[in-house]
Amino acid sequence: MSSQLVSKVDVDLPDAPSITAHRPYLRRVGMAVGLVVVLALPWFVYPPVAMDIAAWALFAISVDLLLGYTGLLSFGHAAFWGTSAYTTGLIAIHAGVPFPVAVVGGAVCAMILAVPTGYLAVRRTGIYFAMVTLAFAQMIYFIANQWRSVTGGENGLQGIPKAFFGIELVETESFYFYYAALPIILIGVAIAWRTVNSPFGRVLVAIRDNPARARALGYDVERYKIMVFVISAGLAGLAGGVFSASHGFASLQELIWTTSGKVVLITVLGGIGTLWGGPVGAALVVLLEDKLASSGFNGIGIITGAIFVIIVLAFRHGIWGTARNGIGAWLRSRRRARQDA
């Protein structure tokens, strides 16, 4: 029965944004180019900044799973990013395990937190869903701020070690830390890609486009929303754990509501429903903030805000989304030209 329903969705509902009519070899070429860029990034960008780009890229991808593929706007994803950041630090400090193990522990903690949060949030839609997630995130922020004996309060959790299976990657070895942490980011991206390019992902798009029809086909819409919410939280947790390990500390900044707003902005700038948009938006935002900060300019918010407004107005579907649509239109025009000839 389930396979029949999936087939029904495949026939009647539109494709997910990432499942397009592009030729397979173009997709493979794009993935190969993206992998080369990721591997070469710390050779052209300061390694800690490159690591920030990678972490924020995965964070944006986790938000895009909800916003672009399920139609759920979360303003509380900083709760999972920050919870994992603190948990990763606590595990690394007190258990003395390699940082990848601590990061996985942080992601698991974020997923556990997402179960009750998602159970209550998915019963609402639109702005009400966003407000419920924001309220939960603010609760976690308040708890972290008050639980000073564990989190350090306003001082944060400092001195997170970067042990890598017997090797201590100190601050001066940030170049090597990037390549040690990169597999975690790539695994998270692979999980996201497999999620959207599967029958499960097709159902998510069906729920996004027409939840009433998805219910009529026999799908438990709330259960699917909770499942993707937990997956999204896990990916955000992986990103947050890597971020805190990279910087060697976790602070309340990771839990504050502006962090949730920043990652939503990154997702929209890159293009929702694309997966590639997250890395593009993350690179733009992180590099821009780094350049402005290193120049000593005080009005970073004014400049970045103006640039972001211009980009949103100029690229209706985000940077990558607009580029993807343009390439698709060009391929279709070439195909028609060959047919006419």
- Residue-wise pLDDT for 221-269, tens only, equals 999 999 999 999 999 999 999 999 999 889 999 999 889 988 998 998 8
One-letter identity of residue 211: P
Domains of the chain: 2-340 (1.10.3470)
| Residue 303 in tokens | 């400049």
Quick check: 186 pLDDT over 90? yes
Q: How far apart are CA 6 and CA 18, in angstroms?
A: 18
**pLDDT tens column, 46-99:** 888 999 999 999 999 999 999 989 989 989 999 999 999 999 999 999 888 889
Q: Which residues pair with 164 in a beta bridge?
A: 167
* Cα distance from N-terminal residue to C-terminal residue, the chain: 46
Residue 164's φ and ψ, nearest 5 degrees, are -130, 85
pLDDT at 217: 87
At residue 276 the predicted structure's pLDDT band, cuts being 50, 70 and 90, is confident
Name the maximum alpha-carbon separation found in the chain: 75
The whole model's pTM is what? 0.86
One-letter identity of residue 309: V
Q: How far apart are CA 235 and CA 201, in angstroms?
A: 16
